[in-house]
Amino acid sequence: MYEPSRGAAPRAHLPLVLAICCALGAQSQAVFAETLAEAEAAPAPEAFDRNKADTLDKVEVKALAKGYAVDRSSTATKTDTPLRDVPQSISIVTEDLIRDQAMQSMGDVVRYIPGFGMAQGEGNRDAPILRGTASTADFFVDGLRDDVQYFRDLYNVDRVEGLKGPNAMIFGRGGSGGLINRVTKQADWNDASQVSVTLGSWSNRRVTADVDRALSDNAAFRVTGVYENSDSYREGVSVERYGVNPTFAFRIGENTQVTLGYEHFKDERTADRGIPSLGGRPLETDPSTFFGDPELSPTWARVNAFSALIEHDFGNGTMLRNHTRYADYDKFYQNVFPGAVNPANGTVAISAYRAWTQRENFINQTDLTFSFDTGAVVHRFLTGVELADQDTDNFRETGYFPAAANGGAERTSVSVPLTDPRPRLPVSFRQSATDADNHGVARTAAVYVQDQIEFSPQWQAILGLRYDSFRVDFSNHRNGSTIDSDDGLISPRAGLIYKPTEPVSLYASYSLAYVPRAGEQLSSLSPTNAAFDPEKFRNYEIGAKWDVTPVLSATAAVYRLDRNNVVAPDPLDPTRSILVKGQRVEGVELGLSGNITDNWRVLGAYAWQDGEVLETQSATVQAGATLAQVPRNTFSLWNRYDISPRWGVGLGALYRSRIYASTDNLVQLPGFMRFDGALFFRVNDNVDTQLNVENLLDRKYYASAHSNNNITPGSPRAFRLSLNARF
């Protein structure tokens, strides 16, 4: 049996950890002066040469990410490639933008990724909507899977990459509508450190540290840390989280580098499922009102992850990389939350449940990249192997309220007045007849090949193919049954690029991905679906990318994403199930990022989406329905303008058209437009301050939903004051 107290590790050491980080950075600079002088005297790096190693030096990658524009990435192709030479829509949120907007969550990030949104996730997890597809498993860290349901932080992030459409050729199963990859800060032989302190509305209190040191010519160390203890505009809601992420890098000879990392992260908060609906729209109530019981709605997640990266350059464009990630996740959440409103007597139904997830991930990838010519045609070739083992336990219990006054049985739901929507009743938890008690082991063995072909300066292509052997062994502890499935998944990728001039590329692409019957969280395999083919996601896309200047990029994409092989009851025989067409999303995405002038930074995103259910799947998912939480139009624009070397201002606008809370299309969240602002002041070369204001005009809006009766009100006007010190 799992115990909720298991995750309550002591936290008294965290302020000490951050203090140690600061103390490390404050060491005598004389120790590192000689190394720093050698680095400054070193010759400038050569321009990119396709015949040299494909892996870009980490210091160079960091430099390219400065500002709001990034012109290269190795995530989408596993080779260092200019973004305009990747036939796929990619949006990147840089560290500078994260800092300028005082972002603290993945929900903050996806507002600036066209085609992506964030659902409520029952108040206990990141729950993105990726080109109309809801997913909690399509998260990656440095290209490796990070698929447990929890709230991720940004304290150790160099940039966040949003890759659109199916990405199975590179990342394996899932990645159906897109994926989110966090590129973390690594030891890189830079002597640069920073501490940031943020205070804000509703007792927002947060401190982060980043200490980066070269220990010698052949060894480097970096540690990032965070501690936060904040309340919320939602009554009774709070969050406390901390994390520490040291990395070590070693040069073994001239051509080999080893990078080791470890992260310990803990997030504890109130599971907040928002407010119910009435009359087809969110209930009119104060944004702070909590429906349910915040004191009986704790959730926490603990992550311990180790990573090891070995890179060897054979020369002549040949590079071998081996990347390993072992992660141990422990997740618990308990929630007392609202259901439907009864307008006749002015009450709302309250229910409760709790669940645990424990997972161990072991993932190893080996990639070999090399270049060769066949006549005038240049090939950059990738071949790789991925081995993964994921061991998961799921356990759930239903909440029971005391018997009614007439002596009836315990109830799984009680009604409370809308004027006082907290039950104030004890809740006992035990398993119902349908609650999960499962153990599953998922094993993956995959091979993949990719060829980036340059026919001429104007014409390029990418062709790739991946095969995954994906096996799941599933045990139901409630009835002793065991189920297994074994899928062989073939995922192709093809893209053609035409460059009329060097800064401009036009592309067309096709890709395919699968979600096996075990589900994205490896917890839903059953005898009724084990024999069915995996869900299939097929994407067609055309687009254009234009580097307007070396520091300003514009992108456009038009796509169609089809979801097939969805299980539905047979309309002619309800005892049988059949596979039907699931949904289709068609869309247009526009992006702009970089510098308009030396003093003016900008990031803009627009998306038009049309998401529709193609065939009836259940009584509540009918053909022709609009997909849940997929707005027809979204728009975001952020500007930072530096008035002088000391003063700067920021102004942003966010727009989202109306959305349906659920695919039954019974409840609608109104559209909204929100404005944000910022004021920046540089005290000196090492210290700056900033004031961020969210929802400048204090407009009422609804940020997200999980269902028709779990709707999150947007934050009223909120302030964050930050002090950033470098040393």
pLDDT in tens, 239-270: 999 999 999 999 998 999 999 999 999 999 99
Q: Taking residues 434-438, what's their average pLDDT?
A: 92
Higher confidence at residue 530 or residue 383? 383
Residue 58 confidence (pLDDT): 38
Alpha helices for 42-75 (secondary structure H): 58-64
* Average pLDDT of every residue of the chain: 89
Alpha helices for 66-179 (secondary structure H): 95-100, 106-110, 168-171
Higher confidence at residue 288 or residue 8? 288
Query: pLDDT tens across 573-622, in order?
Result: 776 777 888 999 999 999 999 999 999 999 999 999 999 999 999 889 99
Total domain count, the chain? 1
Does residue 387 lie in a domain region?
no
Please give the order of strands across the beta sheet that includes 127-130.
116-119, 127-130, 133-134
AA identity, residue 654: L
Residue 479 confidence (pLDDT): 86
Residue 406 confidence (pLDDT): 53
pLDDT at 14 over 80: no
Compute how many other C-beta atoms are within 10 angstroms of the C-beta atom of residue 400: 18
Does residue 431 lie in a domain region?
yes
pLDDT at 45 over 60: no
Tokens 């239903």 correspond to what residue?
Answer: 398
Compute how many other C-beta atoms are within 10 angstroms of the C-beta atom of residue 335: 25
Percent of the chain residues topping a pLDDT of 90: 80
Three-state DSSP at 462 gives strand
Query: pLDDT tens across 468-498, in order?
Result: 999 999 999 988 889 888 999 999 999 999 9
Residue 532 confidence (pLDDT): 81
Structure tokens at 110: 């996806």
Residue 230 confidence (pLDDT): 98
pLDDT at 94 over 50: yes
Domain with 59, as residue range(s), is 4-288+299-371+397-726
pLDDT at 35 over 90: no
Structure tokens at 487: 């899928």
Does residue 388 lie in a domain region?
no
Does residue 344 lie in a domain region?
yes
User: What does the angle CA 311 – CA 315 – CA 320 come to, to the nearest 5 degrees?
Assistant: 30
Residue 9 confidence (pLDDT): 40
Pairing verdict, β 377-400 and 347-374? antiparallel
Alpha helices for 65-172 (secondary structure H): 95-100, 106-110, 168-171
Q: Any idea what DSSP says for residue 253?
A: T
For 360, counting Cβ atoms within 10 Å of its Cβ (0-12 exposed, 13-18 middle, 19+ buried), the class is middle
Residue 81 confidence (pLDDT): 95
pLDDT at 90 over 50: yes
pLDDT at 28 over 90: no
Residue 405 confidence (pLDDT): 56
Tokens 């080999």 correspond to what residue?
Answer: 256
Look up the CATH number of the domain holding residue 699: 2.40.170.20
pLDDT at 641 over 80: yes
Does residue 380 lie in a domain region?
no
Which segment of 153-157, 208-212, 407-411 scores lowest on mean pLDDT?
Answer: 407-411
Residue 248 confidence (pLDDT): 98
Higher confidence at residue 576 or residue 304? 304
Query: pLDDT tens across 351-382, in order?
Result: 999 999 999 999 999 999 999 999 999 999 99
Q: Any idea what DSSP says for residue 357?
A: E
Residue 43 confidence (pLDDT): 43
pLDDT at 517 over 90: no
Residue 66 confidence (pLDDT): 62
Does residue 386 lie in a domain region?
no
Three-state DSSP at 57 gives coil
Which segment of 54-58, 172-176, 478-482, 635-639 scores lowest on mean pLDDT?
Answer: 54-58
- Residue 297 has, within 13 A of its CA and on its CB side, a CA count of 28
pLDDT at 8 over 60: no
